[in-house]
Amino acid sequence: MQNRIAFITGASRGIGRACALALSSAGARVVLAARQPDKLEQVASEIRAAGRDAFVVPMDLAATDSIRAAFAKTAKEFGRVDILINNAAITKDGLALRMKQTDWDAVIATNLTGAFVATQQVLLGMMRERWGRIVNITSVVAEAGNAGQANYVASKAGLIGLTKSLAQEMASRSVTVNAVAPGFIDTDMTQGLAPELKERILAAIPLERLGTPDDVAAAVRFLASEEAGYITGHVLNVNGGMYM
């Protein structure tokens, strides 16, 4: 992975931050993208303190123009993207019966359409280089479903379908497309859960603990590596056994 250019969305915290640190430690030059440049700069500072390259680009996955501008800025700086990690996502939970269409649209736009548009920006370059790694961060709920999250589940299940279709389209150019499906990970998103809900979740996890962002990042790092060159169209579960 030495000197590969890795672009990570949602890199300011949680899983995205862990992926950025993991890929950087493996030798990649990382591009950090999210809506909050100040938080990205904090992550970039950690990476630079270790003597490695980090480049910050502000990006809103709900806005196509913002995505295109972020990749144009990256192309001007590095000339290409070798590894794309589609990680950024939002939630707007609610029962389907009462879900506002604006909440449905916002989640699909960011989590699925945004990831698709971001992917479009790198495909031609990867085809020319005849090398590329795309890793989409989906979720255990994309496979198992989850009440109250119809929009989020649909967006993450859509990412699995996108992964498999792109894997077939890009394989002849030695570009692999895979997905990682985390279970319940100890991040800002899960720290707000009520204690009784956390207990129920833990009871459903055979490994009896929440995952960590580093658990997910290790899987991402492998799928982005040279060693994973014969794996494509795969969904790698990182869920402690809660869904098999």
Q: How many CB atoms lie within 10 A of CB 80?
A: 16
Task: Based on the residue annotation, tell me whether 230 is a catalytic residue of this protein.
Answer: no
Q: Which of the residues 7, 71, 131, 152 is marked catalytic?
A: 152
CA–CA separation, 23 and 1 (whole Å) = 8
Cα torsion at 228, 2, 82, 50 (round to 10°)? Answer: 110
Tokens standing for 117? 């548009």
CB contact at 8 A, 13 and 189? no
* DSSP string over 49-111: HTT--EEEEE--TT-HHHHHHHHHHHHHHHS--SEEEE-------B-GGG--HHHHHHHHIII
For residue 154, give Cα distances in angstroms to 26, 200, 219, 238: 33, 23, 23, 19
Query: What DSSP state is assigned to residue 185?
Result: B
Catalytic positions are: 152
